[in-house]
Amino acid sequence: MPLGIGFAVIALALIVLAALVTDIYLAQRRLYALADSAALAAADSFEPAETAEPDIELSDSQVDRAAQSFAQRTFRETRWSGLQVRGSTDDGHSANVEIRGTYHSALLSPFAPRGIELRAGVTARGGLRR
């Protein structure tokens, strides 16, 4: 009887731990999807470059503003706190977006931290085709 109870407790602990890891993994994937979509929105916020050939021009402030605007409009999850969106460009053609936030798991267990900080970084490149 005590051996059976011990195995049941271990099995339940493993199930809760697996559910917690899955929950955090899915939260990371949602954050990455948000960063990817925000980077695409920021890459589409270009200004035409004043050159002989058709080209685009991105600025840091433009990319940052577009990424933050997209994230505020679309991300409405309640288990996140301290969400920070930062956008920049290195070469005027690419939009770099990094999103950080603290995720609070729905599971209450001794294995779950009170909040885990997750981050996702994505680069999207804009361009024109002839």
The per-residue DSSP string of 27-72 comes to HHHHHHHHHHHHHHHHHTS-EE--SSS--EE--HHHHHHHHHHHHH
Residue 130 lies in a domain: no
Q: Please report the pLDDT score of residue 58 as a whole number.
A: 85
Buried b (16+ CB within 10 A) or exposed e, 96-115: bbbbbbbbebeeeeeebeee
* pTM of the shown model: 0.83
* Position 54 pLDDT exceeds 90: no
Please check whether residue 100 lies inside any domain of the structure.
Answer: yes
Q: What percent of the chain has pLDDT over 70?
A: 95
In a domain, 57, yes or no: yes
Structural domains of the chain, count = 1
pLDDT computed for residue 31 by the predictor: 95
Q: Which domain holds residue 70?
A: 2-125
Q: For residue 26, tell me if it sits in a domain.
A: yes
Mean pLDDT, the chain, as a whole number? 88
